[in-house]
Amino acid sequence: MIQVTRPFLPPADEYKSYIDEIWKRQWLTNMGPLSSELEMQLKEFLGIDHLLFTTNGTIALQIAIKALELKGEIITTPFSFVATTSSIVWEGCQPVFVDIDKESLNIDVNKIEEAITANTCAILATHVYGNPCEIDKIDKIAKKYSLKVIYDAAHAFSVEYNGKSILTYGDISICSLHATKLYHSTEGGLIVTTDPLLLKKISLMRNFGISGFNEFGELGINGKNSEFHAAMGLANLKYVSAIIEKRKSLTDRYILNLKNLNGYMPLWNEYSAPNYAYFPIILDSEELLLHIMSELEKNQIFTRRYFYPSLATALPYLENKSLPNADTISKRVLCLPLYYDLSLEEVNLITRIILRVQNNNKWSS
């Protein structure tokens, strides 16, 4: 069976060495030494000054919205994981969806200004599949209208934009370290800001708002992570470069084999290099997509319609909104298997099946 993704796991003895330390110390959570060590190593690895390790990427988003004291409308994308939108609603704000660019699949910056009202307080944009948004244009709009900017960089671990970490842009950026990501701590997230005062506030919020013994400095939540998750993060970190290199080789093979695809692949930002977190294809029709999925599943090969459906039409707690690009692309996008243990031979098999289906007389143009 070929899964759409499979977590990278370090050698068991390397992970166990960290677990043995936890057993000796009996310090299981509440930002123990492994969690602190992971934060330090991640800052060095990513080349950033401020970073906090959180329970997951969703809680990082919720803390970001709360820390910036956002109220009112937040402009966002309908083409993202549900947590991007649900975090806005959870924190009492109103998501305002803007359509996406059909090439990058990121929020269409040319449509942001027309969505701004007197109630707009922020822009929450997703770097879809790790592909950087048009950051400079978003920053210019935000400054013009005095808006805060949060980037959902859940997919963008290790991505750089204009030579520095993607996480250093916006007022706050968050990242996911979930097991499905190219780098993970089993469950986990990161929250990053370049503002040291805002970082201090977020640090308090992550730990119930506790500022000292029997003292509270902020409204807080339990956003910490455990030593066991930090252990996985530490064990995995040394393998990130190898993971990305393997994913690159698999991606290159996909691109080569699918040069005659009846569809296209997203256009990556010219000021950035890919991290190869996903391999999405946008097919010419939903009907073709469904036939490809079905044929792959017959061969025990599993893909994912990620993201489907558009969040602007899928959520029962929001009024539906039709957005042409998001509506059609969400129906035609398919993420193919991509993970460290996948082989080039398996990529060849997957692409042979895809091309066989599309080249059937019924689908040939």
The tokens of 62 are what? 């919720």
Mean pLDDT of the chain: 97
AA letter at 279: F
Per-residue pLDDT, averaged over 184-213, amounts to: 96
> What distance in Å separates the CA atoms of residue 233 and residue 36, rounded to the nearest whole number?
11
3-class SS of residue 361 = coil
pLDDT > 60? residue 247: yes
Q: Is 79 exposed, middle or buried (0-12, 13-18, 19+ CB in 10 A)?
A: buried
3-class SS of residue 201 = helix
Torsion angle of C-alpha atoms 262, 263, 268, 273, degrees rounded to 10: -40
pLDDT digits (tens, 9 = 90+) for 14-35: 999 999 999 999 999 999 999 9
Confidence class for position 272, pLDDT limits 50, 70, 90:
very high
pLDDT digits (tens, 9 = 90+) for 277-326: 999 999 999 999 999 999 999 999 999 999 999 999 999 999 999 999 99
Confidence class for position 213, pLDDT limits 50, 70, 90:
confident
Confidence class for position 259, pLDDT limits 50, 70, 90:
very high
Confidence class for position 360, pLDDT limits 50, 70, 90:
confident
The tokens of 161 are what? 């934009």
What domains are there in the chain, each with its CATH number?
12-237 (3.40.640.10), 240-358 (3.90.1150.10)
Please tell me the predicted confidence (pLDDT) of residue 365.
47
pLDDT digits (tens, 9 = 90+) for 87-134: 999 999 999 999 999 999 999 999 999 999 999 999 999 999 999 999
What predicted TM-score, i.e. pTM, was given to this entire model? 0.96
Please tell me the predicted confidence (pLDDT) of residue 361.
59
Under a CB-based contact definition with an 8 Å cutoff, are residues 227 and 32 in contact?
A: yes
